[in-house]
Amino acid sequence: MLEDVFVLLSNTLFSMVPLVLAGVGEVITERSGVVNIGLEGIFILSAFLTTVVTFYTENPYLGLIIGILVGALSGLLHGIISVYLKGDQIIAGVGFNSLAYGISILSLVALWHSHGSSPSVEKMPVIIIGHLTIPPMAIVAILVGVITWWWLYKTPSGLKLRACGEDPRAAEAMGVNVHRTRLYATMVGGALTGLGGAYLVVGWIGQFTKFISAGRGFIALANVAFSNWNPLMAVVGGIIFGFFDALSIYVPIKIQKTTGRIITAESNLFRIIPYIGTLLVVTIIMKKVKAPRALGKPYIKE
């Protein structure tokens, strides 16, 4: 029984990392007034290019850096469309998700003649304490949440960022460059999501698969609402949603070990656990959340 608890706890720590990183990154983006629903696409694209770099260099840390850069560049693209070109932020995010999925599948076929997955790549080491396996990125993700909270609520630059999302005209009157602040925030949010996508490959799964994001980008968006745009609560939310994700992996394996029966087809049913859990949590919490007042609204100077 105790061993099962440790297994489930370890799985939760592995599952929470991309949800926390993308959730905190999106909190930064949305606090500036920009919404980016292209997190799923950033996960996919950064995970794929992380796989390519790690495969050819056999260095997972280089892959991790490339994942961050891909995320930052994706955020830059979304920022230019949303902030400077005044494009529809929702449509831009949806378009990027579709584009990233198409590019990754075409490239997967071109590089490895596979429609489903890449070859295995080198992974980063993990920390083992007794029966508990801890991915170092779980510690990094929690620290990112704590540092982001401190920056947003305890520093002048954090205050300026929040002002851009609440009242950009007042922020401009106080000397804040709203456009530039929103662009940087979108890049930082993209970089953190890219780190989460890279982690999926070199910190957890060990290869790229075409469904590697598995809706985690949308769960991370739900986590932002759950957190009420607070980075510390985004860490808590990532752990909760990560638990649902871990549960969906653990339960079918446990049933197979206990009964000795292979339940490959039925195991797909358990994959809906994180989505049902997300719906329940968000349905309860959404009544109490308060989004930044200028969220999703382009800022036009008078």
Q: Tokens 């949806």 — which residue? A: 94
Identify the pLDDT of residue 89.
94
Helix (H) or strand (E) holding 175: none
Beta bridge partners of 134: 127
Question: How much is the pLDDT for 196?
Answer: 97
Question: What distance separates the 2 farthest-apart alpha carbons in the chain?
Answer: 69
pLDDT of residue 42: 97
Paired tokens of 261: 């029966």
Reference 22, options 171, 175, 204, 218; nearest CA is: 218
129 phi and psi angles, rounded to 5 deg: -125, 105
Asked whether the beta carbons of 168 and 295 are under 8 A apart, the reply is no
Domains of the chain: residue spans and CATH? 1-124+137-286 (1.10.3470)
For the chain, which ranges sit under pLDDT 70? 262-268, 285-287, 302
Residue 262 pLDDT: 67
Distance from the Cα of residue 179 to its chain's centroid: 24
Residues paired with 209 in a beta bridge: 117
Helices 60-79 and 178-199: crossing angle in degrees, nearest 10, is 150
d(CA 224, CA 22): 9
pLDDT of residue 59: 96
pLDDT value at position 263? 65
pTM: predicted TM-score of the whole model, two decimal places: 0.93
The whole-number pLDDT of residue 4 equals: 80
Q: Put residue 290 in one of left, alpha, beta given phi > 0 → left and psi -120 to 50 → alpha.
A: beta
